[in-house]
Chain A
Amino acid sequence: KAGVTQTPRYLIKTRGQQVTLSCSPISGHRSVSWYQQTPGQGLQFLFEYFSETQRNKGNFPGRFSGRQFSNSRSEMNVSTLELGDSALYLCASSLAIGGTYEQYFGPGTRLTVT
């Protein structure tokens, strides 16, 4: 069974631009969560989706948005990029909601904003 895939793996953008990151969960998984990892703030929760519905959102500005499609693939979008958005963005998929369901992480997308 294929793991969680994230595309692109690396991305360089300029301040003010927008970016879309993609996450394809493991086949059959209906939940996708997103995390931002930076040296200064560590791992922070961005969003949680289940069956195309956002169930939880972290404490990030409205420039960060996401969605989930009917095939469970998820995208996150960051508009008006700032230097501080440079980070490793990780997504995780699981069968359903709750701690009994293991979350499997993708390899991440490394975003650099210049």
Chain B
Amino acid sequence: AQTVTQSQPEMSVQEAETVTLSCTYDTSESDYYLFWYKQPPSRQMILVIRQEAYKQQNATENRFSVNFQKAAKSFSLKISDSQLGDAAMYFCAYLAGATNKLIFGTGTLLAVQP
């Protein structure tokens, strides 16, 4: 069975600084996708970034980038130039290729200090 592990329940970063959130996963599938979702206090789940397993290049979306280490089954999220609006719960998620079933980690609560 596929699993997703986030070992950092809480993280804190100063505004304008950089922070990295960790995620590891386990799967025997070759076709899969990895995601980072953000859930602010409003509880609206928002997609931050997506990585296709077959792509070696790390995904980047503006201030957000990932470090995808396929052999190590590691998928970390780097947030650069942190802003107050980045404060939220961040979930790492896995999806096997032919489904829409997301398997989520337990989340990391990110606080941004002014």
A residues in contact (CB < 8 Å) with B = 31, 33, 35, 42-45, 48, 50, 55-56, 58, 88, 90, 92, 94, 97-105, 107-108
Contact A99 B52 (CB under 8 A): yes
Known contacts A88-B43, A99-B33, A107-B44; is A43 also within 8 Å of B100 by CB? no
- Closest residue of chain B to A50, judged by CB? B100
- In the complex the two chains form, what is the Cα distance from A22 to B105 in whole Å? 26
Contacts of B33 in A (CB 8 A): 99-100
CB < 8 Å neighbour of B47 from A42, A44, A58, A102: A102
A-B contact pairs, 23 of them (CB 8 A): A33-B100, A33-B102, A35-B104, A42-B106, A42-B107, A43-B102, A45-B101, A45-B102, A48-B100, A48-B101, A56-B101, A88-B43, A92-B102, A97-B100, A98-B100, A99-B33, A99-B50, A99-B52, A102-B47, A102-B50, A105-B46, A107-B44, A108-B44
Contacts of A98 in B (CB 8 A): 97-100
* Dominant SS among interface residues on chain A: strand
CB < 8 Å neighbour of B99 from A42, A55, A90: A55
Contacts A31-B100, A103-B100 supplied; 17 other A-B pairs, CB < 8 Å:
A42-B105, A42-B107, A43-B91, A43-B102, A45-B102, A56-B99, A56-B100, A99-B33, A100-B33, A102-B47, A103-B47, A105-B44, A105-B45, A107-B42, A107-B44, A108-B43, A108-B44
